[in-house]
A = this chain, B = another copy of it.
Amino acid sequence: MKKINVGIIGFGNVGSGVVRILRERRTMLSGKIGTQINIKKIVDANITTKRNVSVEKCLLSKKVSDILDDPQIDVVVELIGGIHPSKEFICEALKKGKHVVTANKALLAQHGKELFALAQDCGKRIYFEASVGAGIPIIKSLREGLVANKFNSIFGIVNGTSNYVLSSMSGKNCSFSEALREAKQKGFAEKDPTFDIEGIDSAHKLIILIFLCFGKFVDMSEVFIEGISSISISDINYAKELGFSIKLLAIAKREGDSLEVRVHPTFVRDSHMLASVDGVFNAIYVSSDLAGDLLFYGPGAGQLSAASAVVSDLVDLTQDLKAGMFRPTLNSIQDASIKKLRKINEFESRYYIRFSALDKPGVLATISGVLSKFGISIASVTQKQRAKAKSVPIVMVIHEAREKNLRQALEIIDRLNIIKEKSVAIRIEDI
Contact = CB atoms under 8 A, between A and B. Distances in A.
Contact of A299 (B32, B291, B323, B332): B291
Contacts of A302: 292
Contact of A330 (B32, B291, B294): B32
Contacts of A295: 283, 295-298
B299 A292 contact: yes
Contacts of A273: 273, 276-277, 297
When all copies of this chain in the complex are counted, the total is 2
A324 interface: yes
Interface in A324-368: 324-325, 327-328, 330-333
Interface in A221-246: none
A169 interface: no
Nearest to A295: B297
A38 interface: no
Contacts of A299: 291-293
B304 A293 contact: no
Nearest to A326: B323
A291 B297 contact: no
Given A31-B333, A290-B308, A144 B298 contact: no
Contact of A319 (B140, B292, B328): B328
A294 B298 contact: yes
A129 interface: yes
A307 interface: yes
A325 B316 CA distance: 15
Measured as residues with beta carbon below 8 angstroms from the partner, the interface class of chain A is: 35 or more
B271 A328 contact: no
Contact of A297 (B294, B305, B333): B294
Given A296-B296, A297-B273, A147 B291 contact: no
Nearest to A24: B148
B148 A291 contact: no
A33 interface: yes
A135 B292 contact: yes
Contact of A291 (B134, B289, B291, B331): B134
A122 interface: no
A146 interface: yes
Nearest to A296: B296
Contacts of A31: 331, 333
Given A273-B276, A297-B294, A324-B323, A308 B32 contact: no
A309 interface: yes
List the 8 closest pairs (A to B, CB-CB), nearest first: A137-B145, A135-B291, A323-B323, A290-B308, A294-B298, A295-B297, A292-B299, A148-B311
5 contacts: A28-B148, A33-B328, A140-B140, A141-B145, A290-B307
Given A146-B312, A319-B328, 5 more contacts: A31-B333, A32-B147, A135-B146, A148-B312, A291-B298
